[in-house]
Amino acid sequence: MNIILLGPPGAGKGTQAARLVAERGMAQLSTGDMLRAAVKAGTPVGLQAKAVMEAGELVSDAIVSALIGERLDKADTAEGVIFDGYPRTAAQADALDLLLLERGRALDWVIELEVDEAALIERVVGRYTCANCGAGYHDRFKSPVVVGTCDACGAHAFKRRPDDNAETVGTRMAEYRAKTAPILPIYEARGLVRRVDGMADMEMVGSAIGAILAERTDRARPGSVSVPARG
């Protein structure tokens, strides 16, 4: 099962990808996470990406597609992958087709998280993570059970992304509208797009995605009598 989670900044791509990793053993391929790791490590890619990301603009297609290609060759992708934040341009969508073809893999679904952009600003600006294990929290929607202590690992230090401020989020949204939303028709023409209400609570979004994935599994199972139409 190989799926793309598509949606603007704060739509919940990372949140839902993490659930799928935990529940299904799929691998999360987040170009944002890969680029942030490169920035932190000070690699040549990181040095190129840092200022672009802090401005909320897009890193070059060649860089991110190379990162995805390398990542697809790791053994943990065998149970399927979730593309989180990739592809983001028509050129990246073309590159992904080639990367999958070369590896004998195919896309099962492109799941668009439908959201209200105005509400997303609050989601993104209020977001923070555990500095030790990366568990995600939010000022308003998800505080640790014990204030100041990570639920997952017990650490006491938290951090925020440098691009999670209102001004940069505006640029990130504009980039999404201009360059990423226009790739949806490519996948619609192939009957791969399914839409989920990304404004519902996290559990409901997760259930809706789970139902779409189950539908695909039923289709693939020999002898299955339930063959719902795609789209």
For the sheet with 193-197, list strands across it.
27-30, 81-84, 2-6, 109-114, 193-197
* Residue with tokens 């680029």, as numbered in its chain: 35
Among 38, 86, 110, 187, binds ligand AP5 (CB under 6 A): 86
| 206 SS3 class | helix
Residue 59 binds ligand AP5, judged by CB under 6 A: yes
CB of 68 to ligand AP5, least distance (A): 8
- Using CB under 5 A as the criterion, which residues of the chain lie in contact with Mg ion when the complex forms? 14
Q: Cβ neighbours of residue 228 under 8 Å, at least 6 residues apart?
A: 215, 218, 219
Q: What DSSP letter does each residue of 11-71 carry, written as one string? A: SSHHHHHHHHHHHH-PEEEEHHHHHHHHHHHT-HHHHHHHHHHHHT-PPPHHHHHHHHHHH
- Residues facing 194 on adjacent strands: 111
Hunting for tokens 């201009």 — which residue is that? 178
Q: Least Å distance between CB 51 and ligand AP5? A: 10
Nearer CB in complex with ligand AP5: 12/150: 12
CB of 218 to ligand AP5, least distance (A): 26
92 binds ligand AP5, rule: CB under 6 A: yes
136 binds ligand AP5 (CB under 6 A): yes
**Minimal distance in Å, beta carbon 83 to ligand AP5?**
9
Q: 116 or 201: whose CB is closer to ligand AP5? A: 201
Active site residue 127: yes
DSSP conformation letters of 57-101: -PPPHHHHHHHHHHHHTSGGGTT-EEEES---SHHHHHHHHHHHH
In this complex, which beta carbon is closest to Mg ion, that of residue 127 or of residue 215? 127
Q: Which of Mg ion, ligand AP5, none lies near 205, with the C-beta cut-off 5 to 8 A by kind?
A: ligand AP5
Active site residue 177: no
Q: Cβ atoms within 10 A of the Cβ of 150, count? A: 21
From 160, 190, 219, 221, active-site residue: 160
| Nearest approach, Cβ of residue 97 and ligand AP5 (Å) | 15
Q: Which two tokens stand for residue 190?
A: 């192939």
Of the candidates 162, 132, 130, 161, which has an alpha carbon nearest to the alpha carbon of residue 144? Answer: 130
Mark residues 3-42: x for contact with ligand AP5 by CB under 6 A, - for none: ----x-xxxxxxx---------------xx--x-------
What residues make contact with ligand AP5 under the rule CB under 6 A?
Answer: 7, 9-15, 31-32, 35, 52-53, 56-59, 64, 85-86, 88, 92, 123-124, 127, 136, 138, 141-142, 163, 172, 201-202, 205
Please give the positions annotated as active site. Answer: 13, 88, 127, 160, 172
